[in-house]
Structure 1
Amino acid sequence: MSRLWGGIDAGGTGFKCLIATGPDQIVAESAVPTTSPEETLAAVRSVFERCGPSRLAGIGVACFGPVDVREGSPGHGRILTTPKPGWSGVDVLGALRPLGVPLVIDTDVNAAARAERVWGAGRGVTVVAYLTVGTGIGLGFAGGPQGLMHAEAGHILPRRHPQDDFAGVCPFHGDCIEGLASGPAMRARWGAPAETLEASHRAWEIESWYLAQAVASALLVGAADRVVIGGGVGTSPGLVERVRRDVARLIGDYRAVLEPRGGLDVVVASAGLGRRAGVLGAIRTAQEVLPPMRATPA
């Protein structure tokens, strides 16, 4: 019998919770809004308590960051300095330990990259990068090397768009990619959330220009075979096609980075798992990292 796993996609706007074996067998799914750490994490525990944690082989957490994912570190499972008010230093894993279930934590983008590599738009290649564009901007990898920290592509300082003088919203850098192209940046710049802007709005030209620089970095520095774009803003209609055109402009005649990978239409892809990429990534992370502990009872 397939073992059941729990997944938590811990996001800046909401925490998605899933009990499943994978995308083809989902047993339960729910979400709680991200408010205070105490309120949010108590609500997440309640979700799994109602479902019965004894049914689970383990729970994976795909967490917004930055977060300490180093096994054995004194701060393992804690969120580091983050723009999310009230969440710096929060012990996410510690809040979940009362469930009595094996736990593992990784960044939301690394986890989503794992799921897309196995079940989604990254199938068939070795190194998958996942770029999420929503409350924040993050870049994660599956199938490639991982150091002490995760990639922080959201805080790259980009080449400015020639028609852009927006100061940016990042509290640390102002006009880094996250400060210029995240969901909050789009709202602050245009006075409306991204999902309300028409596809013809010039916002998308500027948005694409900055995201293309993150994609180019994943290809040139991260050696990704495929870059999958997801998140609430990243899945906006027509955005991936715009990003492909801007990546082509950025790379120019240096086509060697694209030719062996099959060209831009293959290399830059929309998230195959949609908005479940993060929470399915949490489950995939648990399946890959946690040792076999117990089978799911009948």
Structure 2
Amino acid sequence: MAKLYGSLEAGGTKFVCAVGDEKFQVIEKTQFPTTTPYETIDRTIEFFKRYEDQLEGIAIGSFGPIDVDPNSETYGFVTSTPKPHWSNIDLLGLIAKEFNVPFYFTTDVNSSAYGETLARKGVKSLVYYTIGTGIGAGAIQNGEFIGGLGHTEVGHVYVPLHPNDVANEFNGTCPFHRGCLEGLAAGPSLEARTGIRGELIEQNSEVWDVQSYYIAQAAVQATVLYRPEVIVFGGGVMGQEHMLRRVREKFTALLNGYLPVPDVTEYIVTPAVSGNGSATLGNFALAKDVADKYSRK
């Protein structure tokens, strides 16, 4: 019987469930909206139950904040999220109790970062940002995730305001912080400034320069903090080619030659895994890693 591995990308907008084989090829993949916790978790369990006899391990990459400390009483919980109804939900526990397999639990951006290192042969140091309804990032150095007491929350670093936002007294949409990266540059900030959904805003709108200014600051922060080989920007906002060009230009101006970096067209990029599949690939590998460790015990 073939060994299979499970991947759950638990996002604030949608859940993506997948099962893959030992070569990390997708056997089946599905997605559904993130609604109430128990309804969404029940749909997740239902999907994986169909493969229960063949599953060796499952990896969960979740939106956050989450508790990733295995020694904590709330390990596996979604904690103080702005997502309605999801605070203090035992995401890992509610799923894991239904399966007799080992689980790996991390952030969705960590899963994506791990998948990108697998897709980019030879790359050992990488930062992956998702720019969508929220902003998060996963950083890997020498094949290991960066984190201490918990995972990083780079979407909530404070950034200098763009002059347009200063003039308009716009401090972002984050319910926790005034002037943080997520509140100023995630998708909802576009509609908050213009009254128009991001996908309907024309490319020549000045709001794109405002947003790319903040995303370029994120690239500068990643450069000076982690010195990665590659910075990957994923998420719906970065799906537009003009955004990548704008971010590269503003990054070059902001860094101002302070540190040597690779050619910006190879340094600041979009995902190498098509179809937003970086997290799925990363989760398959993490599920296999935890299954291999479990079998050796």
Aligned pairs for 1:81-230 within 5 A = 81-97=80-96, 98-119=98-119, 122-143=120-141, 144=144, 145-164=146-165, 165=168, 166-230=170-234
The separation in 2 between residues aligned to 1:197 and 1:22, in whole angstroms, is 43
Rounded Cα–Cα distance in structure 1 between residues aligned with 2:289 and 2:113:
13
Question: Which digits, 9 at most, give the CA deviation of each residue in 1:45-92, with x for residues without a partner?
Answer: 11112x221211111001001111112221110011111111111111
User: Residues 106-165 of structure 1, C-alpha deviation per residue, up to 9 Å, x if partnerless?
Assistant: 01111100000002xx43222110000111100111235432222211111111111223
Taking structure 1 as reference, are residues 257 and 3 closer, same or farther at Cα in structure 2, changes over 3 Å only? Answer: farther
| Matches of 1:22 and 1:251, distance apart in 2 | 42
8 Å contact kept, 2:58–2:103: yes
Compared CA separation, residues 210 and 2, structure 1 to 2 (3 A): farther
Deviation at 1:181, TM superposition (A): 0.9
TM-fit CA distance, 1:168: 1.0
Question: What letter is aligned with 2:44?
Answer: V
Letter in 2 for 1:110: N
Classify the secondary structure of the residue corresponding to 2:241.
Answer: coil
Distance 1:125 1:257 in 2: 17
2: CA distance, partners of 1:116 / 1:22? 18
User: What is the one-letter code of the residue matched to 1:156?
Assistant: V
Give the drift of 1:180: 0.8
**C-alpha offsets along residues 251-286 of structure 1, whole Å, 9 cap, x if unaligned?**
0031x341xxx2211111111124122232222222
C-alpha RMSD over aligned residues: 1.9
* Aligned amino acid, residue 31 of structure 1: Q
Q: 2:55 maps to which residue?
A: 56
Q: Distance in 2 between matches of 1:226 and 1:152?
A: 19
Alpha-carbon spacing, 1:136–1:22, altered in 2? closer, same or farther (3 Å)? farther
Q: 1:268 to 1:2 in 2, by over 3 A?
A: farther
SS of the residue corresponding to residue 237 of structure 2 reads coil
Change in CA separation of 1:88 and 1:95 when aligned onto 2, cut-off 3 Å: same
Structure 2 distance, partners of 1:286, 1:192, is 40
Please give the alpha-carbon distance, in whole angstroms, between the structure 2 residues aligned to 1:240 and 1:285.
Answer: 29
Q: What is the distance in 2 between the residues matched to 1:7 and 1:208?
A: 31
**Residue aligning to 2:270:** 270
5+ residue gaps, structure 2, are: none
2:9–2:62 Cα contact (<8 Å) kept: yes
Q: What letter matches 2:8 in structure 1?
A: I
Say whether the 8 Å CA contact 1:23–1:280 is kept in structure 2: no
How far apart, CA to CA, are the structure 2 residues paired with 1:110 and 1:96?
A: 20
Kept in 2, the 8 Å contact 1:229–1:235? The answer is no
- Using structure 1 for the length normalisation, give the TM-score: 0.90
TM-score by length of 2: 0.91
Q: Distance in 1 between matches of 2:24 and 2:33?
A: 26
Q: Does the CA contact (< 8 Å) of 1:19 and 1:26 recur in 2?
A: yes
Q: Which moved more, 1:163-172 or 1:28-37?
A: 163-172
SS of the equivalent of 1:99 reads coil
